[in-house]
Structures are given as C-alpha cells and as structure tokens.
C-alpha cells in the first residue's frame, strides 16, 4: 500500500458564505494531493501524458464529517490501496490542524491511450515506481 501526506492551506476563495470550505473544492484538494503523491514517486502527470497516457476520473466519492475553515492547514493523506491494472484507486483522508478526520474520499481513474482513446493497462513506468510498496 502506498501512502503519502500533503498539506494545503485553505484559501479565502475556497470558502462559502457560511465560512466553510465549499463542498466542490474537495475534488480540487484530492487532485492536488493525488498529483503530489505521484510526484513523490519521482513521476509527474506531465510525464505520464507525454508517454501517451491520460487518466480521466471514472468515479469520485466524498464523505463530509466536519467543515474546514479559511486559513486552516489541512493534511491530506493519499492512499493507493492496491496495485493498479486498468484502473487506479486513490483514497483520501483529510485532517484539520487538530488531527481530526474531517473528510474522506475516493477517486478512481482509468488509463487511456491518447492516440487510440482505448483503455490500457497501467503504464510500466508507474508500476515500476509503485512496486516497492506492494511487495509481500
């Protein structure tokens, strides 16, 4: 299992009139944490795309437990629970500064060949980077 922690500070523009992080921004937080998790492996989305692979989201779920507020420093734990095949799943746990779990989410992405627009298996360069986290 691969686990990565990333921090993000809530910007004023991320909040709604109630002072809470607007619910639609959690998808952005997931995306930001997901990209940084991949970067921590020594790989970038750009490199994946340049290799001919795109990764559209096929599913996103989120569970709101408590609100986040302007200027809070959030910790987003990003988890890849299993080795990807044609799909890759990311789980997210968002904690506030008091280490309280305030949000849980999941995204599922599929690997698509840019040229043919057909589903592919996970690229070897990603599998190679993830392999050490899934040895038994």
Query: What's the pTM?
Result: 0.94
Q: Do 90 and 78 touch, CB atoms closer than 8 A?
A: yes
pLDDT of residue 136: 65
**pLDDT digits over 55-70, tens only?**
999 999 999 999 999 9
**pLDDT grade for 135, boundaries at 50, 70 and 90:** confident
**pLDDT grade for 121, boundaries at 50, 70 and 90:** very high
All domains in the chain, ordered by first residue:
2-134 (3.10.129.10)
pLDDT of residue 58: 97
pLDDT of residue 49: 92
Query: Mind spelling out the 3-state secondary structure of the chain?
Result: CEEEEEEEECCHHHECCCCEECCCHHHHHHHHHHHHHHHHCCCCHHHHHHCCEECCEEEEEEEECCCCECCCEEEEEEEECCCCCCEEEEEEEEECCCCCEEEEEEEEEECEECCCCCECCCCHHHHHHHHHHHCC
The Cα 16–Cα 58 span in angstroms is 27
The Cα 135–Cα 43 span in angstroms is 20
Average pLDDT estimate for 116-129: 96
Residue 1, token pair as written in the block: 């299992």
**pLDDT digits over 14-73, tens only?**
999 988 999 999 999 999 999 999 999 999 989 999 999 999 999 999 999 999 999 999
Q: What average pLDDT does the chain have?
A: 96
């Amino acid at each position: 299992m691969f686990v990565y922690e990333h921090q993000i500070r809530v910007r004023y523009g991320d909040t709604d009139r109630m002072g809470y992080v607007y619910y639609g921004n959690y998808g952005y937080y997931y995306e930001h944490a997901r990209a940084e998790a991949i970067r921590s492996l020594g790989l970038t989305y750009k490199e994946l795309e340049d290799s001919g692979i795109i990764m559209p989201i096929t599913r996103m779920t989120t569970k709101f437990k408590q609100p986040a507020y302007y200027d809070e420093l959030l910790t987003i734990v990003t988890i890849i629970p299993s080795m990807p095949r044609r799909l890759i799943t990311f789980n997210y746990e968002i904690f506030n500064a008091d280490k309280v779990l305030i949000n849980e989410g999941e995204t599922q992405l599929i690997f698509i060949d840019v040229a043919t627009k057909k589903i592919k298996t996970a690229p070897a360069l990603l599998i190679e980077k993830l392999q050490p986290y899934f040895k038994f």
